[in-house]
Amino acid sequence: MKQLVICEKHIAARRIAYILSGGKARQGRMYGVPYYTFDDVTVVGLRGHIKKLDFPAEYARWNSSQPQQLIYVEPVKKVGEKHIANALKALARECSHVIIATDYDREGELIGAEILDLLPPDVTVKRARFSAITAPEITQAFKQVEEVNHNLARSAEARQYIDLIWGASLTRFISLASHQLGKSFLSVGRVQSPTLALIVNREKEIQEFTPTPFWKLSIVFEKDGITFAGEYPEKIQDEEKAKELYEKVKEADAGTVTTYEKHLRQSMPPPPFDTTTFLKEAAARGFSATQAMKIAEELYMNGLISYPRTDNTVYPALPFKNILKKLESVYPEEVALVFSMLRGKPVSGKKVSKDHPPIHPVGAAKLTGAHAKIYDLIARRFMATLSKNAVLEEKKAEVRVAGEPFMVKGLIIKEENWRRVYPTRLSEKTVPDLEQGEQLPIVQRKKVKDTTKPPKRYTQGSLIVEMEKLGLGTKSTRHEIIGKLLSRHYIRGKQLIPTPTAFAVIEALEEGAPIITKPDMTAHLEDEMDRIAEGTKTFEEVLEESRQILSRAFEILEKNKHKIGRRIQEAIARQNHFGTCPECGKEMVLRKSARGKRFIGCSNYPKCTNSYPLPQKNSVFFEGEQCPKCGAPMVVTFYKGRKQKRCANMNCS
């Protein structure tokens, strides 16, 4: 009985073949595609989806049909990786059994299911499901093969169809209305647009925010050589009241302790990583969501961590001690610590799913660079979840000064425990032991004016958390959505700032068809796709419903087409403005050469030929500042989220 094992990628195929063969597999090639053989088994890897979904060729030209026509055009699926398809067909001819061993999630199920028609009709097809590419998991998965879950695959296929139809029709509408064609087209999507609306509307809140002044009073006390502050318990909105209170306490030499409490508090470790919390923590360490997920996928393929796409924060029965033993080669001191402070039961979060466990290490290796940092984050989080609670000592006191209350709070770590392997920020405040009724000498009094602050801009991490709350996208797609917004120059910076084009597109859609920018519709369709996976809704029902929603949106969009186009054109003109020409005084604008190279040129060309080169990668912006030395525009770029500013004139010293 000859078997063909089909994996999602070549790297997974190589590792799975190595595990199943005990290291004896030999490599071959078919149509340039590597595969591995041992005994009567052949293992081959795909390159993700080898079939591409698109509209028929006659709809490829944007001007040849109206965008709304695409809503009811039936997309077609064609083989995109023909050499892989040919290799599959050739390898399958000699096999009677096929095992699909793609990633176990919706997308992986679809990747496996959509190649079934390339196999001989009489071949037996089974599914191997695993959460880590380790010897125990792979061996067990291939002993207990199951059926392909066609409902799960159809759920992923529904997302493919819906996102193509929504994305293509709306993108064409916006781009045609604003005359932004070719490489300058404007991307719009079912999940992308509500996500961008979150960022734009947050920026509006910041711009429209009016700071309100308030005053804070604090007094510094002293005991046993230790100084510590007491805060007036409320922000004072009235300046006169603040002055009055300050004058009242200014002359006092001491305060009286009226209440005092001291107790120990248990501080539990953070729960295990699901995809959202992992990406949030990676973002806090300077990684973009796309970069963090890419590295995590590579660690998974190399058998170092479990599958990184999961909604689960509750461990199943795992060989925890065996995993710790593996980690000893990289973390000898930390593992010894964890064994000395093992908790009875690992920490759990609130989200449970049965597809994959939380993200955790399954192997160990000494890594370098970004891979080492991401692996370290995952390994330390895992060790923390197995460790005893930290113990914190909290102190609270009310100290009266001239009859006015001031609150004293102290916090110190008595037992670090899990914090020794997974450090997190905690501001300790030392306060001596106090007694009710005792007098505390005053060493300083403060009256500080402050103002209320606008809401914070989203970071990639906080945006992914908000997307999950609102049902925007999935654990597998949220980082891709953010990456697309960055690549289309809709947003920039580590603190995500929308560009003028982003404002124009969202404002135009909110006026023209607000349903496209609200999370409700997207979340509803996500729920409907879940029902396909559960078997309670059909692919056809959900696809038809999405088409009807989009049709209603287009009825409104068409009525506002010219206004939408004009608004976006004006915003793009503002975004492409780079100040005034220091040679003739006309406007400097962003241009592209015949070869597609971008540069800044004078709008008075050919009378004025003044121009400046630009970097060809990353986003480029003008914030209104011109070089004080030569008058050229100061160009702002963002590299890995960091803002950099320089004179556009390369000859300016």
Cα–Cα dist 99/491, whole Å: 43
Q: Among residues 450, 447, 481, which one has the least CA distance to residue 464? A: 481
Under 8 Å between Cβ of 505 and 491 = no
Q: Among residues 71, 98, 96, which one has the least CA distance to residue 165? A: 71
Cα–Cα dist 394/392, whole Å: 6
Position 227: which residue type? T
Under 8 Å between Cβ of 244 and 402 = no
**What does the block give as tokens for 531?**
């029902």
Find the DSSP H helices in 272-427.
Answer: 275-284, 289-301, 320-327, 332-340, 369-385
Q: Is residue 427 classed exposed, middle or buried when 0-12, 13-18 and 19+ CB atoms within 10 A define those classes? A: exposed
Under 8 Å between Cβ of 314 and 349 = yes
Which one of 307, 331, 375, 458 is the catalytic residue?
A: 307
Question: Is 458 noted as a catalytic residue in this protein?
Answer: no
Position 238: which residue type? D
Q: Is residue 111 classed exposed, middle or buried when 0-12, 13-18 and 19+ CB atoms within 10 A define those classes? A: buried
Cα–Cα dist 332/634, whole Å: 51
Token pair 């300058």 is found at: 184
Q: Is residue 437 classed exposed, middle or buried when 0-12, 13-18 and 19+ CB atoms within 10 A define those classes? A: exposed
Q: How many CA atoms lie within 13 A of 426 on its CB side?
A: 19
Three-state SS at 299? helix
- What size, in residues, is the chain? 653
Cα–Cα dist 297/304, whole Å: 10
Cα–Cα dist 177/151, whole Å: 39
**What does the block give as tokens for 206?**
């910041």
The CB-based long-range contact list for 57-62 (8 Å cut-off, 24+ gap) reads: 62/172, 62/175, 62/176, 62/181
Q: Is residue 143 classed exposed, middle or buried when 0-12, 13-18 and 19+ CB atoms within 10 A define those classes? A: exposed
Q: Which residues are catalytic?
A: 307
